[in-house]
Chains A and B, each alone.
Chain A
Amino acid sequence: MSSGMQGNRGAVQASNYGLWKSLVLAVCLVIYLIVLPAYFAESRYVLRVITTASVLSFISLGVWLTFTIGRINIGQGAFALIGGYTTAILSTKLGVSFWVCLPLSGLVAGLTGIIFGLGILRLKGVYFAMITLSLTEAVRLGFLSGGDFTGGAPGIPNIPLPDELKLFGITLVPDFGEVDTHIAFYYLGAVLLILGLAVIWRISSSRLGWIFESLQQDEELSRSVGINVARYRVMAYAICCFYGGLGGAFFTVSQQSIYPSVFGVPDSLFFILYCFLGGLAFVAGPIVGAFLLFILFELLHELQQYQQLIYSVIMISIMLWLPNGLLSLRLPAASWRSRNIRD
């Protein structure tokens, strides 16, 4: 058995996988962007569910990135809040267009993330988890006590819908008030998710991804070969918070209001759960997790009081039997892993 032949077979296999992957991806995109909205155009409820799941996945992608540097980040809720309030305050008090608010919210969240990150990233494991958990609560309380500026407990209502986005005289996006808002938000959410996924996937499969991986496995060793551990840790964390901020901004305009309890500890925990369910080794993990769990949650809505009960039973069952995530079941890790080095 010559290695040449093996190599060939390997190459053919690899290109088959590659083809398969692209095909599946294309089909998913078509379904996501065209089939679903067309089919459910009349059903606002379904559209809203998918939109929400999309943006929740988006936010969870950020948390996923912090997993890659070996941290358990239960603080994403805080940054969603920060992003949300940024948009709320800017658009209601200063009349800033949503399309400016959106990136700004991300930036504010990201910058705040850098500041916190510099302090807390030296912690690991449970300690980091506990402190990020406290962060979620602290930020919530902060906004609660913000007096007039943040609107206190009732928060900020009447947040305007996204307006027109014009570039060089061409209307890229129409004013949300003039179209079917559900479809509009659907697409906004979809674009956010697709772009967000692409970026995270790219980061993770690039050298940056390898650096993060090395941090996850052994920070001291990384340090000894010259990797500026502090810098890359903060980088990953800041990107995570950026995603959180963007997601928060989205929800603020889609609900047209924001109040301190919009994102709390349970939400931060859910983001983690979504990543977990899908499988932490896979970029698409959080998306699978979020969609599945959120839709499940909605389906259980019928059952009212038993909803939470069943949900928790499901959660526990997942931990018992599928602790490495769903995706790890069917797909061999090698081909779908976000990074692979072909030798």
Chain B
Amino acid sequence: MALLAVENLEKKFGGLIAVNDISFEVESGEIFTIIGPNGAGKSTLFKLITAFTRPTAGRVIFRGEDITRLPAHLVARKGVVRTFQETTIFKEMTVVENVIVAHHLRSRASSFGFFVNSPKARRDEERFRESANSIIEILGLDAVRNEQARNLPHGYLRELGIAIAMAAEPKALLLDEPFSGMNPEETDRVVDMVRGIRDRGITILLVEHDMRAVMRISDRILVLNFGSMVALGTPSEIQNNESVIEAYLGREDDELGI
């Protein structure tokens, strides 16, 4: 059974169709990338899957369960966690605090337990601290762990965003343009990092523009244009696909990155 299945998903804004009858499945352990020109509906698709906006038609099924109608925080609870395009972080906290706070989902104590600092709450804090430390190490944030997030040099912001998402122990991690604005070295680092996350058993969905990175890292690629599916397949299939090349014709050549 596929980990995540999207069936006939549609999103209309007034007269505009942002996402038009999209269906696909993502297997557990895959790195699945969604690409397409600007405005193709990629981010909207992400928002639909993670319930930050409601579809006008279609379903989202995660591990066999229909999560379409669930509110966003419950979707996260089910294990589908997203990052944000405009690297969203908690600015007024330090890096460590950011990651610890994000562990909320994994707490076993109740609100009252938090209040009275029950044994469960204390054990939660211990676990969170350890988990936060290991996440910070994996993502290479150790050097800046006590920095205020708003002072973070730009290069670390993305890692922090991912760290926050990882604290929620996702089974499916949705990364929104993790490679944007990166030079080749940084891209390499992020490629390794993403692979490392996948190796930990987390399935990854990417939305991305940087074709080089996409070709390197993806198991399968979904191409969107004007909200509709254009092609779905492995990197080599996509590279040789005519409709894909057509969809990108008339746009900047370096979007293809080939």
Residues on A lying within 8 angstroms of B by beta carbon are: 202-203, 206-208, 210-211, 213-214, 217-218, 220-229, 235, 341, 343
With a cutoff of 8 Å between Cβ atoms, the chain B residues found around residue A221 in the complex are 84, 88-90, 164
Task: Tell yes or no: B137 within 8 A of A by CB.
Answer: no
From B97, which residue of chain A is reached at the shortest CB distance? Answer: A341
B114: which of A206, A226, A228 is its contact (CB, 8 Å)? A206
Q: How far is the CB of A213 from chain B (nearest CB, A)?
A: 7
B96, A341: Cβ atoms under 8 Å? Answer: yes
B77, A343: Cβ atoms under 8 Å? Answer: no
B114, A225: Cβ atoms under 8 Å? Answer: no
Q: How far is the CB of A228 from chain B (nearest CB, A)?
A: 5
B90, A218: Cβ atoms under 8 Å? Answer: yes
Interface of chain A, main secondary structure: helix
With a cutoff of 8 Å between Cβ atoms, the chain A residues found around residue B114 in the complex are 206-208
Q: How far is the CB of A342 from chain B (nearest CB, A)?
A: 10
Q: How far is A206 from B111 in the complex, measured between Cα atoms in Å?
A: 10
From A209, which residue of chain B is reached at the shortest CB distance? Answer: B114
If A207-B107, A207-B124, A217-B91 are given as contacts, then 20 extra A-B residue pairs at C-beta distance below 8 Å, sorted by A number, are: A206-B114, A206-B117, A207-B109, A207-B121, A208-B114, A213-B101, A214-B90, A214-B104, A217-B90, A218-B89, A218-B91, A221-B88, A224-B52, A224-B83, A224-B168, A226-B104, A227-B73, A227-B105, A341-B96, A343-B145
A-B contact count (CB 8 A): 94
A-B contact pairs, 21 of them (CB 8 A): A202-B116, A203-B115, A206-B117, A207-B121, A207-B125, A208-B111, A210-B97, A211-B101, A213-B93, A213-B101, A214-B104, A223-B73, A224-B72, A224-B82, A225-B102, A225-B164, A226-B104, A226-B105, A229-B73, A341-B97, A343-B146
Which residues of B73-114 are within 8 A (CB) of A?
A: 73-74, 76-77, 81-84, 88-94, 96-97, 100-102, 104-105, 107, 109, 111, 114
Q: How far is the CB of A57 from chain B (nearest CB, A)?
A: 21
With a cutoff of 8 Å between Cβ atoms, the chain B residues found around residue A235 in the complex are 111
Q: How far is A341 from B64 in the complex, measured between Cα atoms in Å?
A: 40
Q: How far is A224 from B81 in the complex, measured between Cα atoms in Å?
A: 6
